[in-house]
Chains A and B, each alone.
Chain A
Amino acid sequence: MRALPFLLILTGILMLAGCGKKAATVPDSPGTTVEQGAGAGTGPGEGQIGEGRDLPGASGSATGAGPAGVGTVIYFDFDRSDIRPEYASLIGSHAKHLAGATGVAIRVEGHTDERGSREYNIALAERRAQAVRRALMLQGAGDAQLTTVSYGEERPAAAGSDEAAYEKNRRVELVYGR
């Protein structure tokens, strides 16, 4: 855990940076499922975008709600796992919410874009999920409330092989009601 002091400082900086401006987050919620019927005429590579999916227990669960009006997706730069300053307030809100509701548990799901080898991407997505997990814990979330899972490039949010799709896929999703 030698990264802890550094992370504490970083988190402080991020929080300060986050105070100045409103975090620019893409609206998203884990309960939204964008269904694209098979054979709907939009083949892969034509920009199908699904912004979330139902996971077992994700909807209608007693512990299913996160903080109201706060995004649940953190996006990353290519081959990076450091959290961009703009997500400090988003992560802070979730951490505070979890600290105040110790019975609530979430899944921290890491993802990458499709470039590079699949198992390396699993590792990269794990690193992203762990970065978010640590940031949440530093701000009060309990270890037992957080389960990380790394999907690598296996569960893209957006189809397509262009930067527009890639930037939507390099992400960590916070999923309530695991």
Chain B
Amino acid sequence: MESAVLRIENFSASFGELTVLKDINLSLSRNTLTAIMGPSGCGKTTLIRCVNRMHELTPNAKVSGKILLDNQDIYNTDPIIVRRQIGMVFQRPNPFPTMSIYDNVIAGYNLNGIKLNKEEMDRTVEESLRKAALWDEVKDALHRKGNFLSGGQQQRLCIARALAMHPEILLLDEPTSALDPKSTAHIEELVSHLKTTVTIIQVTHNIAQAARISDFTAFLYLGELVEFGSTEKMFTGPKDKRTEEYLTGKFG
């Protein structure tokens, strides 16, 4: 069996007195797509924000347990280094408004003061935009600012921006919930191609979406990991009653 790229061990997270994640244990294989689903407030967004150490930006945030990226404890590493290895795409597209499309894609390098020569920059930009299925649409407008792009295109730009850093893991936080069905379909297709080159964790509240694209699914309820397994097995024969109820729409 492949060694796990991400291991979450006995992990809990809280905001002050309120515990949001209870004793999560999870192990993800390389180059797979794991969907995290569950009703609102179950902790799924908090979980991925802990993986790239964004959770601790909120005051009163506390964590316990371990998260190991390639066998390295991310809570013993400088958060900045952790975040450079893990890419995140947010619910609402948030390209940098003062930068051109080109600069947005390599923003991770520019902002961190990592200097690349022009050839490397051009190559990275094209490669990332191709992977994000956006290259053909913007290749003639690379130096324009991104505000003329549609919501779906902006989100793909954000995906390209994250991919440009060659992350180990790509975190997607309900990336299509603010988009129209056509853009959603585009992004779903692109994500399912991407998983062959990068490990993806996608938070979604859309059960059908999880079924369509993910290899593995984790079901969270009230901060607990209720069930985790291959998507096919879970959807055809869930082991836990709560999972079954969620999948059949009885709550959430």
Q: State yes or no: do A and B come from one complex.
A: no
